[in-house]
Amino acid sequence: MNRNNIVISTYDSLHNPYYGGGGAIAIHEVSKILSREYDITVLTGKYPGSFDTVVEGVRYAHVGVFRFGPLFGQLFFHFAIIRTIRKMNFDCLIESFTPPFSTSCTPLLTKKPVIGLVHMLAGKDMSRKYKIPFHYLERFGLRFYRRIIVVTDEMKDKIRAINPNISITIIPNAVNVSSIVLSNEPKKYIVYLGRIDIEVKGLDLLINAYKRDRKKDLPPLIIIGNGLRSEVKRLQQIIRKEELQDRIILYGKAGEFEKGLLFSYAYGCVLPSRSEAFSLTALECLKIGIPLITFDIDGLRWIPNDVSIKTERFNSDELKNNIIRLIADEKLQNQLIDRGRAFSEQFNWQNSANRYAEVITDTLKNNSGNRL
């Protein structure tokens, strides 16, 4: 029986030292399930030490350059995709949108069906960060897609406003947390879990909350995660400047066993992001039973208000007060744990992969994934 060749393009990947984020995990988890039915190739960006390989039935092929760092790596990845897909033999392309301007406009490059995959639209954030109007290119490129997969209703509405004729399917991500076991330990601190990206992840806003805590009502903060060397160094400098070394600890990247140990002593997890696509960190906390505090941003609206503590956008004082409220109220902690676990049960990778397979089957059948 002939199997269809499906190519998924995405700059980020599992072992990319610059990112290795939630989008990369989501694509791999879905791809390894789809590989039972299709031949899957993930076309991804090069990084130091990268090599083409097969991981759990998924073939990874690396393109582009890595010598100039991740920003130029992402830019060159877009150009590499243009050249590579013209030479590849495939039946359907799923293009995962990549910063800084999201789309590679692949429907213009092939007669084969193309499905856009949008975890987030990066154009506005990248425009604000680098003072280059990437969002105009993003809006232009979205006009050429007929079929898109998104992870939230909010993203569906944003894309529909740009291209009202597009077919949009919502498929949420999931997480695997079966190996993370919490023990019932006395609580000692708050944790942050995620990529070290000061502006996007709002770590400066979290540090501001600790800076304003003159009475030292807040418990210590442990920051779990990694990021660009420049971002980690800058974060260390901010912590030293504010003289918070005794209250904020940079732990670095943690494995599954370490997460279980660290979370066992945590009152809760704070995610102070300015923007999110579909936060796997948030879903991970809900599944394993960690109370969650976030800002009330569009990218986290998929979490009901009674399942996490939502804070006014970018208000460090209210963030501080909500952390203090959480650590003082054991009943609230238990309510959030129970509600989070119940809500998160609906998210699993098999369900997500089944939905992807339906979209792929329909696209191949109707050959309707290509441009208008």
Predicted confidence at residue 22, as pLDDT, reads: 86
Does domain 5-174+348-366 fall under CATH 3.40.50.12780? My reply is: no
Calpha distance 96→313 (Å, rounded): 28
Q: Give phi and psi for 254, each to the nearest 5.
A: -125, 140
Distances in whole angstroms, Cα of residue 97 to Cα of each of 104, 177, 180:
8, 26, 31
Which range among 21-25, 98-102, 208-212 has the greatest average pLDDT? Answer: 208-212
Rounded mean pLDDT, 227-252: 95
**How many CB atoms are closer than 10 A to CB 16?**
22
Residue 1 pLDDT grade (very low, low, confident, very high; cuts 50, 70, 90)? low
So what's the pLDDT on residue 367? 76
pLDDT digits (tens, 9 = 90+) for 292-306: 999 999 889 999 999
**How far is residue 254's CA from residue 251's CA, in Å, rounded to a whole number?**
8
Average pLDDT, the chain: 93
Number of H helices, E strands in the chain: 12, 14
Q: What is the largest CA-CA distance in the chain?
A: 69
Which amino acid type is present at position 353? A
Beta bridge partners of 102: 98
Task: Please answer whether residues 43 and 6 qualify as being in contact, where contact means their C-beta atoms are separated by less than 8 angstroms.
Answer: no
- Please state the φ and ψ torsions of residue 198, each to the nearest 5 degrees: -60, -45
Q: How high is the pLDDT of residue 92? A: 97
pLDDT of residue 129 exceeding 80: no
pLDDT category at 369 given cuts 50, 70, 90 is very low
Comparing 103-107, 189-193, 234-238, the range with the smallest average pLDDT is 103-107
pLDDT in tens, 183-227: 889 999 999 999 999 999 999 999 999 999 999 999 999 999 998
For the chain, residues classed under CATH 3.40.50.2000 are 5-174+348-366, 189-344
Phi-psi label, residue 310: left if phi above 0, alpha if psi -120 to 50, beta otherwise? beta
What average pLDDT does this structure show over 365-371? 64
pLDDT band at 366 (very low <50, low <70, confident <90, very high): confident
User: Mind listing the pLDDT tens digit for each residue in 315-362?
Assistant: 999 999 999 999 999 999 999 999 999 999 999 999 999 999 999 999
Q: Is the pLDDT of residue 308 over 90?
A: yes
The identity of residue 286, as a single letter, is L
* For the chain, percent of residues with pLDDT exceeding 70: 98
Lowest mean pLDDT among 32-36, 154-158, 358-362: 154-158
Instruction: Give the C-alpha separation, 239 to 204, whole Å.
Output: 9
* Average pLDDT for 307-311: 98
Residues 6+ apart with CB under 8 A from 124: 135
Average pLDDT over every residue of 5-25: 92
Structure tokens given for 320? 């501080």
Sequence-separated (6 or more) residues with CB below 8 Å from residue 175? 280, 283, 284, 287, 347
pLDDT of residue 31: 98
Helix, strand, coil proportions of the chain in percent (round to 5)? Answer: 40, 20, 40
In CATH terms, the fold of domain 189-344 is Rossmann fold (3.40.50)
Look up tokens 């299709």; give the residue: 38
Query: In this model, does residue 372 exceed pLDDT 50?
Result: no
Torsion of CA 37, 43, 47, 53, to 10 degrees: 40
pLDDT at position 370 is 53
At 264, is the secondary structure helix, strand, or coil?
Answer: helix
